[in-house]
Amino acid sequence: MAENELSAMTRQCASGRRFEDIETLRSEIAAWSTDINNTQRGVDWQMKVEDARGKLMSIYPQIKL
- Express each pLDDT in 10-34 by its tens digit: 888 888 889 999 999 999 999 999 9
Chain centroid to Cα 63, Å, comes to: 27
Report whether 47 contacts 60 (CB < 8 A). Answer: no
Give, as one character, the DSSP assignment of residue 60: S
Q: Measured between alpha carbons, how far is residue 44 from residues 2, 41, 48, 56 in Å?
A: 14, 10, 11, 19
Encoded amino acid at 41, one letter: R
Report whether 32 contacts 15 (CB < 8 A). Answer: no
- Express each pLDDT in 41-62 by its tens digit: 777 778 787 887 788 877 766 6
